[in-house]
């Protein structure tokens, strides 16, 4: 296992076209579940210059206005330029209502363990969850910092601190590791789009550094040093950014949604799927297990791999990799997970209350996950798979 290395992770703002698609897709999921918590829905979105395409398959008692949801998200994200805005963009939908089935009308909270064993998954997938002790949120430092920079890039635009910034932007942080621990910040990159009215933002680079980079790192233990490379780019070829410059698609930023490539991810999109899709909620359950293992000091790094097969309720495989940091053998940790953690679809929905969260969370629930990561979010309160309630049991 390599001990000394450099690792980079990137994040994007909520105005990035791929993230815009994720947010539209998850806003649709939220709306269905708010009106009918037993809805089954898969929603995918694509955007380009002046056009939005939505494809959805659903079975629900709810009536949802797809076009209205998309325009609301576009407006809230901040697109108001002539080439792409909520009022004038064309929205095309391809909708398929699935045939009625009684399968979806089950409440995991009311079912016994024997009954949960009768609810199979409808997909085949291997999901991954990861945690480490590099940050207080048990996330790898590069993706944690990249997300914070991206959130700050959005905040300074919304708060009019840097009003010349447009919604689309990217960040990247490279961290040098020594003995598998973060040692120093090697480089920081920020790529931001700009409003059409402002043609020369290069002159504002110091202002941008102070408002974004210095602000994000003020409370961090590891800070940029004199040798840290800081690159702020407002290349005119990027111009105003967004769908008028580059297209977007739901589910195309899986690494950003999870661990910034520091750990593996399944490759399946997380956004745009209701809680009966195991390729989404299984990833949340795997993160929950890995985080509690690290918090219980059974390892300083932990990757949990869970494999599901169609037609079965329980996973066919649960594997653990602690990269040589485990206090006990990896096989023993995997056995603990099999005994004390419920990876069944019904068990995950029951544990995290996944069908009800859009109704009891102000502003919806799943859309908030669609930008800045589905895991390791300290800005979202009561995210169920980030809880550490299993730590006392694991310590015993």
pLDDT in tens, 140-171: 999 999 999 999 999 999 999 998 889 999 99
Query: What letter does residue 214 receive in the DSSP assignment?
Result: I
DSSP for 122-169, please give it. SS-EEEEEEEESSSTTS--HHHHHHHHHHHHHHHHHHTTSSTTEEEEE
Among residues 242, 266, 292, the one where a domain terminates is 242
Predicted confidence (pLDDT) per residue in 241-288, tens digit: 789 889 999 999 999 999 999 999 998 999 999 999 999 999 999 999
Q: pLDDT digit string (tens) for 295-336? A: 999 999 999 999 999 999 999 999 999 999 999 999 999 999
Domain presence at residue 29: no
Q: Say yes or no: 285 and 231 in one domain.
A: no
pLDDT tens string 175-205: 999 999 999 999 999 998 887 555 455 657 8
Q: Is 171 helix (H, G, I), strand (E, B) or coil?
A: strand
Question: What's the CATH number where 162 sits?
Answer: 3.30.300.10
Q: Is residue 24 part of a domain?
A: no
Does one domain contain both 232 and 312?
A: no
Angle (CA) 366-371-375 rounded to 5° is 70
Q: What is the pLDDT of residue 200?
A: 55
Domain boundary among 242, 268, 300: 242
Instruction: Looking at the structure, tell me whether residues 292 and 360 fall in a common domain.
Output: yes
Please indicate, yes or no, if residue 27 is contained in any of the structural domains: no
For residue 110, tell me if it sits in a domain.
no
CA–CA separation, 74 vs 78, rounded Å?
7
Pair 391, 307 in one domain: yes
Residue 384: inside a domain: yes
- Whether residues 298 and 369 share a domain: the answer is yes
Q: Which among 186, 220, 242 is the end of a domain?
A: 242
Name the helix (H) or strand (E) containing 376.
none
Does 155 share its domain with 223? yes
Highest mean pLDDT, choosing among 5-9, 80-84, 102-106: 5-9
Give, in degrees to the nearest 5, the angle at Cα 50 between 52 and 373: 50
In a domain, 204, yes or no: yes
What is the span of the domain harbouring residue 286?
116-134+277-395
Residue 265 lies in a domain: no
Of all residues in the chain, the percent with pLDDT exceeding 90 is: 86
Do 231 and 294 belong together in one domain? no
For residues 123 and 154, membership in a common domain is answered with no
Does pLDDT of 228 surpass 90?
yes
Q: Does 155 lie in the same domain as 183?
A: yes
Distance between CA atoms of 26 and 267, rounded to whole angstroms?
A: 18
Residues 198, 222, single domain; the answer is yes
Which residue, chain included where needed, has tokens 């059409």?
196
How many domains does one find in the chain? 2
Please indicate, yes or no, whether residues 165 and 127 belong to a single structural domain of this protein.
no
- Does residue 50 lie within any of the structural domains? no
DSSP states of 1-25: ---SEEEEEEEE-TTSHHHHHHHHH
Query: Using CA atoms, how far apart are residues 276 and 33, in angstroms rounded to an integer?
Result: 12
Q: Is 153 in the same domain as 121?
A: no
pLDDT band of 236, cuts 50, 70, 90 = low
């Amino acid at each position: 296992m390599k001990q000394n290395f450099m690792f980079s992770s990137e994040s994007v703002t909520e105005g990035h076209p791929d993230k815009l698609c994720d947010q539209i897709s998850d806003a649709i999921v939220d709306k269905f579940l708010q009106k009918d918590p037993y809805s089954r829905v898969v929603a995918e979105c694509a955007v380009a210059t002046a056009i939005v395409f939505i494809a959805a398959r659903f079975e629900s008692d709810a009536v949802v206005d797809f076009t209205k949801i998309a325009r609301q998200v576009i407006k809230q994200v901040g697109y108001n330029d002539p080439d792409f805005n909520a009022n004038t963009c064309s929205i095309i939908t391809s909708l398929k209502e699935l045939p009625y089935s009684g399968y979806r009308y089950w409440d995991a909270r009311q079912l016994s363990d024997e009954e949960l064993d009768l609810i199979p998954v409808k997909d085949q997938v291997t999901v991954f969850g990861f945690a480490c002790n590099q940050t207080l949120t048990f996330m790898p430092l590069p993706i944690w910092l990249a997300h914070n920079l991206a959130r700050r890039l959005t905040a300074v635009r919304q708060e009019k601190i840097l009003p010349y910034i447009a919604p689309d932007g990217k960040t990247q942080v490279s961290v040098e590791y020594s003995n598998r621990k973060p040692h120093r910040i090697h480089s920081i990159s920020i790529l931001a789009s700009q409003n059409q009215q402002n043609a020369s933002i290069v002159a504002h680079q110091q202002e941008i550094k102070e408002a974004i980079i210095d602000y994000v790192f003020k409370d961090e233990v590891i800070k940029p040093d004199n040798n840290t490379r800081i690159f702020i780019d407002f290349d005119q070829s990027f111009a105003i950014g967004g769908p008028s410059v580059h297209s977007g698609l739901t589910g195309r930023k899986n690494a950003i949604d999870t661990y910034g490539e520091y750990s593996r991810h399944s490759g399946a999109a997380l956004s745009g799927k209701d809680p009966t899709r195991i390729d989404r909620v299984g990833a949340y359950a795997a993160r929950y297990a890995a985080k509690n293992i690290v918090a219980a000091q059974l390892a300083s790094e932990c990757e949990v791999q869970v494999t599901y097969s169609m037609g079965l309720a329980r996973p066919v495989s649960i594997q653990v990799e602690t990269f040589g940091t485990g206090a006990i053998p990896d096989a023993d940790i995997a056995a603990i997970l099999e005994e004390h953690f419920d990876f069944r679809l019904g068990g995950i929905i029951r544990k995290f209350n996944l069908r009800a969260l859009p109704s009891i969370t102000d502003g919806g629930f799943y859309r908030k996950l669609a930008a800045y990561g589905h895991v390791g979010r300290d800005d979202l309160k009561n995210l169920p798979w980030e809880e550490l309630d299993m730590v006392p049991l694991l310590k015993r």
